[in-house]
């Protein structure tokens, strides 16, 4: 979360930010649909392999320089583990036991972990009082969304929710690793290399756990796999970096807030999912924490006081 910049959003930036939120919001449903037919490990292998192929095609078309330093490929492997293999697998498995909308709500904890990990690793990311308050509210939201009773019971459902939280921690660690080791690279090359590192790990792991690769048989499953691999992974990376340039990193927190409503509505419409009241209350607390981290709410209150 280094140098979190916040710019005025142009209509085009708003449009692309909304598009990115829709794409990522729908990814939770597409993953769950694919899991009706394809095992967890294999579904993740499909995601990283086809996304890597798509991004290397973009790299070739743009004639971007290829990384040749072996240390970079080692960094790609670590990044692939932290940003794809671990969180994708944990969250896909979790979606077998909890709703897609709830997964998307808990996924928002990535930004909360990001603040903590950055404060521990980087000297210029100290934990200010405002950030500490945002983190506290965010974790309160996670606890409410999961439910105290669920945590006490430690049943399969609560374990699945904790798996999502572990996945968000892995995302946060990946962000720190990317800043430390990959910040000098073209973002598209870094994303392609990361996904390649993910595929190197994920394909043999999927074969070992699930057996020979399972290919989508039904058109619905094929569409779901194509969507989460090519649209919500490969295309989303390209769109993410466009929005980052236009809107700044601070405004990308808004995307985190816009994803769960999309996932919740799609889960309800397509799979008939209904979330408990605690999930919505937890999302409200998480959203409040993210807005405080964003700084927009604090600046608004200060401006109101001064008028």
Please provide the DSSP assignment of 93-133 as one string: HHTTTS-HHHHHHHHTHHHHHHHHHHHHH-TT----HHHHH
Task: State the pTM of this model.
Answer: 0.90
Detail the DSSP E strand segments found in 231-273: none
Q: How far apart are the first and last CA of the chain?
A: 31
Q: Name residues of the chain where pLDDT drops below 70.
A: 1-9, 150-153, 247-251, 296-304, 306-307
Closest to 171 (Cα-Cα) out of 92, 135, 228, 117: 117
Q: How many CA atoms lie within 13 A of 192 on its CB side?
A: 18
Q: For residue 225, with 0-12 CB atoms within 10 Å meaning exposed, 13-18 middle and 19 or more buried, which class applies?
A: buried
Q: What is the pLDDT of residue 303?
A: 65
Return the SS3 of 186.
Answer: coil
């Amino acid at each position: 979360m280094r140098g979190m910049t916040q710019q005025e959003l142009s209509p085009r930036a708003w449009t692309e930010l909304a598009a990115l939120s829709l794409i990522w919001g729908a990814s939770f449903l597409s993953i769950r649909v694919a899991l009706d037919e394809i095992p967890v490990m294999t579904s993740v292998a499909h995601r990283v392999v086809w996304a890597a192929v798509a991004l290397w095609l973009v790299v070739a078309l743009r004639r971007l320089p290829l990384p040749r330093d072996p240390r970079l490929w080692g960094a790609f492997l670590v990044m692939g583990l932290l940003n794809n293999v671990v969180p994708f697998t944990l969250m896909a498995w979790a979606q077998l036991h909890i709703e897609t909308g709830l997964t998307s709500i808990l996924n928002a904890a990535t930004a909360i972990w990001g603040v903590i990990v950055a404060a521990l690793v980087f000297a210029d990311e100290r934990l200010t009082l405002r950030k500490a308050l945002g983190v506290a509210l965010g974790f309160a939201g996670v606890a409410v969304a999961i439910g105290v009773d669920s945590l006490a019971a430690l049943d399969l459902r609560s374990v699945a929710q904790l798996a999502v939280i572990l996945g968000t921690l892995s995302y946060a660690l990946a962000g720190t690793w990317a800043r430390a080791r990959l910040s000098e690279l073209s973002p598209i090359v870094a994303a392609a290399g990361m996904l390649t590192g993910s595929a190197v790990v994920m394909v043999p792991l999927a074969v070992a756990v699930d057996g020979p690769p399972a290919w989508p048989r039904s058109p619905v499953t094929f569409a779901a796999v194509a969507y989460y691999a090519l649209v919500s992974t490969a295309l989303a990376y390209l769109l993410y970096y466009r929005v980052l340039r236009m809107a700044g990193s601070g405004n990308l927190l808004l995307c985190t807030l816009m994803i769960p409503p999309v996932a919740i509505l799609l889960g309800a419409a397509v799979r008939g999912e209904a979330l408990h009241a605690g999930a919505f209350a937890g999302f409200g607390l998480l959203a409040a924490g993210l807005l405080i981290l964003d700084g927009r709410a604090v600046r608004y209150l200060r401006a109101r006081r001064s008028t």
